[in-house]
Each structure stands twice: as structure tokens, then as C-alpha cells.
Amino acid sequence: MSLTDPVADLLSRIRNAVRAHHVKVDVPSSKLKLEIVKILENEGYVGGYKLNDENGRLTLKVQLKYGPNDQPVISNLRRVSQPGCRVYVGRHQIRPVLGGLGISIVSTPRGVMTGRDARKLGVGGELLCEVW
């Protein structure tokens, strides 16, 4: 099965699992998806992740996080750059998400990082998604 947009698939699976109050979600793995999940873990949006090898296929098991009163930590995820319409931003065009309450994830020449880190390093790139 080939997906035209694996990042959108990752975000949709996480979004759907959070709305259904699942504890974890399984996602087919790739290097880019792994980097995005690492950022989500570092920023406190997911509890953790594990890389599993099932019948020769790598899958990511992502632990979802919920706060007090069973409120999900992730309220929404939005894919910005898509295969049909790529969105590139310079270092000065990277804006805070939701007044600084959310994060943007940018694929730069120095690797995948948050928009905040890209601004600090003075690099731009492809604006992959926003999480809040």
C-alpha cells in the first residue's frame, strides 16, 4: 500500500486516536515520521514511542498523553505543506502557533526541528505541520 502523504497519515492517526481516547496508536514507520514523533515527545505532546519490528515491517507505537480530567494534551494537528502544494518558509516567516501555545515542525537543511529552534538557528525550510 503506497500513501501519497505519509505525514498526513501519521497526523490523522494520532488525531483520530486522541479523539477516541486511545492509550496508544500504531503507525507504519519512516525516518521522517520518527523525527516528528521525537519532537512531539520532547515538546510533551506524546508520552513516548517505541519502534517495533513486526514481520520485517517497522512500526511506531506512540503513547498518547492525557492531562487532568482526561483532557488530551493534543487538541489538534494540522498539516501545512502537502505533496500538491509545498509550503516553504524563511527564518523570518516562521510564526508562533496559537500565540506560542503550540509548535510548528519544520524540515530544514539541518534536520527536522520545531519552528522555535529553526528561528534560533536562523534557518528556514518546509513547514510540515502545526500542533496545539
* Per-chain mean pLDDT for the chain: 96
Residue 1 lies in a domain: no
Range of the domain at 41: 6-131
Is residue 95 within 8 Å of 102, Cβ to Cβ?
A: no
- Cell 534557518 belongs to residue: 123
Rounded CA-CA distance 82/75 in Å is: 21
Is residue 60 within 8 Å of 49, Cβ to Cβ?
A: yes
Per-residue pLDDT tens over the stretch 100-124: 999 999 999 999 999 999 999 999 9
DSSP letters, 33-46, are HHHHHHHHHHTTSE
Residue 12 lies in a domain: yes
Q: How many domains does the chain have?
A: 1
Q: What is the CATH number of the domain that holds 97?
A: 3.30.1490.10
Residue 44 lies in a domain: yes
pLDDT of res. 2: 56
Per-residue pLDDT tens over the stretch 50-89: 999 988 899 999 999 999 999 999 999 999 999 999 999 9
Residue 54 lies in a domain: yes
